[in-house]
């Protein structure tokens, strides 16, 4: 395979993987848009949802397990919002951020207690044979997963742009007091935001679980959401998509062309190197807005 075809194949693979990174980042964006707080527990929610699904499948079958996992994640999200975060309305963002760290440890510990610590495979029936376009091979499973991610992103964009609840989420993120003054129910909107984040975590857990298996290292994938959010902008859904694609392509090209000369492992650091460059030239991200404070 010549270098051009190899680069095209790596780029396509990077785009598809980047869309999966975007699924993780979307959960962070949803909570941030509703509360201006970085939800450190999103990775744990992704792991918990995937473990719940694979734990239920042997008991009730895939489709009932999927319905059960959706319902359980809705309950987890509502309990987290009502018990841990609703009492903190009006507190500083740092206090709420620390609460999300506590929630992450609770979810991981509870998942370990219920489902154990052994890795699990998750088969969604996705094709394993690659799609061949000339001398370029594309993973069909990655292509389908990227398509699912794209559809979900499109639905979320429509939700935030054209629905009353979505507009309420955006208003609360901009100014909670002003949003409440015009009749927006802060508690209701927060609950919906957490339910959406739980649903996104389940979809991300399914897609990543089918790719790498379901194990406790899955929660570390959330760390890849950090450079995605830095590049795209933490409050932007389109930014999460663009940032994820940039990270995925940078990792694939870096590992493909630089990795062989340095012994590999380039993909583990490439995302953070790209994020560092963006911090230097555009610290609020491609779609982020610069914060201007009057003193």
**Confidence tier at 289 by pLDDT (50, 70, 90):** low
Q: What does the pLDDT read at residue 71?
A: 92
What percentage of the chain carries pLDDT values higher than 70? 89
Q: What does the pLDDT read at residue 64?
A: 92
Q: Mean pLDDT for the chain?
A: 80
CB-based contacts of 245, cutoff 8 Å, min separation 6: 14, 15, 18, 19, 22
Q: What does the pLDDT read at residue 232?
A: 87
Orientation angle between helical segments 225-232 and 237-253, nearest 10 degrees: 120
pLDDT tens per residue across span 200-216? 888 888 888 887 788 77
pLDDT mean over 24-52: 82
Across 9-13, 132-136, 142-146, least confident range:
132-136
- Nearest one of 60, 22, 244 to 152, comparing CA atoms: 22
Q: What does the pLDDT read at residue 127?
A: 73
pLDDT tens per residue across span 257-288? 887 877 777 888 888 898 899 888 888 888 76
Q: What does the pLDDT read at residue 170?
A: 67
pLDDT mean over 120-132: 76
Please state, as a whole number, how many other Cβ atoms lie within 10 Å of the Cβ of residue 215.
16
Task: Pick 198 or 175 by higher pLDDT.
Answer: 198
């Amino acid at each position: 395979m010549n270098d051009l075809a190899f680069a095209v194949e790596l780029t396509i693979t990077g785009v598809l993987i980047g869309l999966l990174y975007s699924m993780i980042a979307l959960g962070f964006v949803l909570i941030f848009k509703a509360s201006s707080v970085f939800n450190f527990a999103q990775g744990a929610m992704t792991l918990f949802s995937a473990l719940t699904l694979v734990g239920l499948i042997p008991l009730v079958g895939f489709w009932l397990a999927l319905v059960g996992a959706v319902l359980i994640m809705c309950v987890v999200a509502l309990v987290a919002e009502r018990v841990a975060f609703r009492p903190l309305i009006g507190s500083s963002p740092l206090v709420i951020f620390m609460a999300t760290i506590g929630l992450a440890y609770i979810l991981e510990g509870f998942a370990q207690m219920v489902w154990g610590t052994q890795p699990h495979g998750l088969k969604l029936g996705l094709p394993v044979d690659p799609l061949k376009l000339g001398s370029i091979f594309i993973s069909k499973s990655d292509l389908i997963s990227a398509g699912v991610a794209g559809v979900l992103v499109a639905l979320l964009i429509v939700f935030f742009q054209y629905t009353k609840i979505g507009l309420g989420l955006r208003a609360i993120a901009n100014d909670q007091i002003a949003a409440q003054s015009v009749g927006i129910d802060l508690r209701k909107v927060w609950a919906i935001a957490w339910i959406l984040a739980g649903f996104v975590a389940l979809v991300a857990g399914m897609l990543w679980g089918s790719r790498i298996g379901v194990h406790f290292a899955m929660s570390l994938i959330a760390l890849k959401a950090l450079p995605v959010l830095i590049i795209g902008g933490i409050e932007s859904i389109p930014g999460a998509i663009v940032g994820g694609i940039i990270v995925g392509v940078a990792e694939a090209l870096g590992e493909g062309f630089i990795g062989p000369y340095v012994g590999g492992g380039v993909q583990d650091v490439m995302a953070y190197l790209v994020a560092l460059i963006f911090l230097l030239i555009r610290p609020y991200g491609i779609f982020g807005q610069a914060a201007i404070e009057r003193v």
